[in-house]
Amino acid sequence: GSPVPVPHLLTLADLSASQITRILRHSYALKQTSQPWLKHSQLSHRLNLPSQSLFNKCIALVFSKRSTRTRLAAETATDLLGGRALFLGKDDIQLGVNENLRDSVRVIGGMCQGIFARVGNHEEIEEMIEHSPVPVLNALSSLWHPTQVLADILTLHEHAQRFQTTESAEPAAENTSPESSITSLIEGAMGAIAKSKPKPKGLFQPLPELRPLKIAYVGDSTNVLHDMLVTYPRLGHSIQVASPSNPIYRCPPEVWKRVVELGCEKSITWDEDPRKAVHDADVVVTDTWISMGQEAEKAQRLQDFNGYQVTEALCREGGAKKDWVFMHCLPRKPDEVDDEVFYGPRSLVFPEADNRKWTIMALFDLLFGKWDLTGSDRPS
Ligand code: CP
Ligand code: NVA
C-alpha cells in the first residue's frame, strides 16, 4: 500500500479541534505521571513510567535561535519518554553554512527519528518538511509558535476555577435587586461546585472543563498570537487584539488566510486601542515587542508601542473582568508588562512555562514516537 504520510506539524492550524483537545488531554495525563503523590500510590508501578515510545530513538533539536523553555522542555521530555535529545545549535553543525538546509535535513533525518526545529524565516521549516524523512515539529518560526499555545491552553484549563465569576470591574447596572442577586449567587455557586468536581474516570483526573473565555492580546502580531488566532476560536473562545495600525504590527496575509479558512475570524476583533481589547476580558496576553531577530528595530518599536504596556491601570480603565489573569510566553522584557502584573497574583506565567514540558512531551510521544495524532488520552 501507500506509505504512511510523515506527521509534520508547523502550526496548530494543521490540526483539527479534536486533535488539539486530544493532545491537551494526553499532556494532562502525562503530567500526572510525574506528580509525587502517585509515587506512593499502590498503582505506582503502573503509573510512574509514561510511554517509552522514544526508547532507542534520537530527537534532533535543530535550533538556529536561542531558547530556554523550549529547549529544556524538549530535552527533559525526551528523557522521560526513554529517548535521547541532541541539541544542534547553529554554531554546532553545518546549518546553512558550508551545507544547504536540504542536505542537512536529509542527513539528520537519516540518523534521528524526529526533528524539533527553531528557525528564522518560516520558509526554512517549510523547506525542511519537504526533504525530511522523519517528522518535523515547529519549535518557533517567524510566523508560528504552536507548542507555546498548547501550553497556554493547558494552563487555562488547569486554572478553570479562576473563571467562575463573570463579573466585570465596572459592575453592570441592571439586575441588582436583592432577590435576583441572591438567586444568581446561589445558582453561580451550585454551578461552580458542579464544575469544580470532575468525576475521576480511570487512573487519571480528566482535563478540567473551561467555559468560553474572552482573551485579550495587547502588543505585536507575533508568532505566538498567530497560533492563538487559529486555535482559540475553534475551542469556543474569542480574541480581542490591540496593536498599532502600521501593517508591520498587524497579522501577515499568509497567517490571516489560515485564520479565515478555519472560520476563526468571526471570533476575532482587532483595534488600535488597548483599552478596547481588554474590555470584559478574562485573560490578558502579551509577548515581547522585539522578537528575536528584530533587535535593530528596538528604538522604533519602543516608540510605536508606547501606551501598550499591560498594567493594572490599563485593564481597569478598559474594564477587564474583575479576576482577569495574565499570560506571557516568556522571555519577558519590562516594556510590555510591568512588575506589578507580571509578578502579581493574576500572573500565570510560571505555570505556563512549566506546561511547555508536558505539551511538548505529548507531541513528541504522538508525533515522533507513535506517528499518530489520533492516539489515546492516557499514557501507555
Ligand atoms: N516561550 C519560549 O519559547 O521560550 P524560549 O524562547 O526560552 O524557548
Ligand atoms: N515572539 C517571540 C517569542 C519568543 C518565545 C520571538 O519570536 O522572539
Per-residue DSSP letters for 66-101?
--SHHHHHHHHHHHHTT-EEEEEETTTS-SSSSS-H
For residue 379, pLDDT over 60 is answered with no
Instruction: Kindly list the domain boundaries of the chain, sorted by start residue.
Output: 12-146+355-369, 160-168+205-347
H/E stretch holding 106 reads helix 101-111
pLDDT at site 53: 94
Q: How far is the CA of 332 from the centre of ligand 1 (A)?
A: 10
Banded model confidence at residue 44, pLDDT cuts 50, 70, 90: very low
Answer whether 358's CB lies under 8 Å from 81's CB: no
The CATH code for residues 12-146+355-369 is 3.40.50.1370
pLDDT at site 97: 81
Q: How far is the CA of 21 from the centre of ligand 2 (A)?
A: 24
Q: Is 377 exposed, middle or buried (0-12, 13-18, 19+ CB in 10 A)?
A: buried
Superfamily of domain 160-168+205-347: Aspartate/ornithine carbamoyltransferase (3.40.50.1370)
- Asked if 12-146+355-369 and 160-168+205-347 have one fold, the answer is yes
Is the C-beta atom of 329 inside 6 A of ligand 2?
yes
Is the C-beta atom of 143 inside 6 A of ligand 2?
no
Answer whether 243's CB lies under 8 Å from 301's CB: no
What average pLDDT score do residues 331-360 get? 98
Is the C-beta atom of 288 inside 6 A of ligand 2?
yes
Q: How far is the CA of 140 from the centre of ligand 2 (A)?
A: 8
Q: How many Cα atoms occupy the beta-carbon half-sphere of 39 within 13 Å?
A: 3
pTM of the model: 0.89
Catalytic status, residue 315:
no
Angle at 65 between CA 61 and CA 66, to 5 degrees: 90
β-strands 268-271, 214-218: how paired? unpaired
Instruction: For residue 51, give Cα distances in angstroms to 46, 55, 83, 140, 362.
Output: 11, 9, 11, 26, 10
